[in-house]
Amino acid sequence: MSETTTHTHSVGVAPGDDIVLTWAGATDTGRRRENNQDAFLAMFPLFIVADGMGGHAGGEIASQSTVAHLQRMVETGPTTTTAIENALEQTVADIAAHPETTDEGTGTTLTGVFLDASGDDARWISLNIGDSRVYLLRDGRLVQVTTDHSVVQELISAGRLSPEEAEGHPYSNVITRAVGASELTPPDYLGIEVLDGDRFVICSDGLTKELTDYGIQHFLREYADPAQAVDAMLAAALENGGRDNVTIIVLQVERPARVGEEDEFSSTSEHTTE
């Protein structure tokens, strides 16, 4: 497992109002899989995780193609929902044309957030296709931002299954939407206010299979540095079985101290700068 590094980026979200973003990400094959079909991108302003599926090579094709097209989008133009969907359309075409695409449902989940600073007030936009997840720790409370696109979630939403009964359900790995070799269904989007102290966890289900929401919250509280939080959650997921590939991004928001502000806002953390 390579060393995890915390990256830092300052950005203006309104006239005279800057925030500092710090983040870290890591992916691991886990203890039972032969290859890693997960991929992630953590490049301001976009932070996403893709969990591939569809045979030994198919999942890697789908997740890596998704990340590659989205990275190119970030590098060449503004990050918008339209630009994301254009990149995903190209991904779908690439997956369909790839010689190693299988008939086993080649595709990938996609979830994450990006910072939309195009208007007067910056906001986060979450995006989601599949059952990878975005969590938000705000004011000491962890909430799941995204809603899974899965058979089990549909049963829960219909009142036919409780969240407790969903654990270990035989259809727990069956998703109802993916980025793959078929017509693209746009992601679900949700706008989120930018607040000081917010911490996001973006992860594949390899983490949530091994850690409860309480466990995720515990490690966020224990480790202020994103890289340390990522490493601790990854180690715990592997220790608890590591049944799947595990991918985690921790992203947090801080407002730097301004002249004249109270001392309580002046504490800073050391980070390795990107």
Q: Residue 243, SS3?
A: coil
Tokens 């990878």 locate to: 132
What's residue 15's pLDDT? 75
263 has pLDDT over 60: no
Whole-model pTM: value is 0.90
Considering the chain, what is the average pLDDT of its residues?
A: 88
The 10 Å CB-count burial string (b at 16+, else e) for 40-69 is bbbbbbbbbbbbbbbbebbbbbbbbbbbbb
Higher per-residue pLDDT: 200 or 17: 200
Higher per-residue pLDDT: 133 or 157: 133
| H-type alpha helices, 35-192 | 55-76, 81-97, 151-157, 163-166
Higher per-residue pLDDT: 136 or 58: 136
Share of the chain above pLDDT 90, in %: 65
Nearest to 179 by CA among 259, 243, 107: 107
What's residue 216's pLDDT? 98
272 has pLDDT over 70: no
**Predicted confidence band of residue 274 (pLDDT cuts 50, 70, 90):** very low
Q: Residue 264, SS3?
A: helix
127 has pLDDT over 50: yes
Q: 34-43, 211-220, 260-269 — which is least confidently predicted?
A: 260-269
* Calpha distance 24→249 (Å, rounded): 6
Q: Which tens digits make up the pLDDT trace of 229-254? A: 999 999 999 999 999 999 999 999 99
260 has pLDDT over 50: no
Q: Which tens digits make up the pLDDT trace of 148-194? A: 998 888 888 888 887 767 777 767 678 899 998 677 889 999 999 99
* Calpha distance 142→201 (Å, rounded): 10
Domain boundaries, the chain: 7-256
Higher per-residue pLDDT: 219 or 12: 219
* Calpha distance 31→243 (Å, rounded): 6
Q: Which fold has domain 7-256?
A: Phosphatase 2c; domain 1 (3.60.40)
* Calpha distance 105→57 (Å, rounded): 12
Nearest to 138 by CA among 192, 189, 190: 192
22 has pLDDT over 90: yes
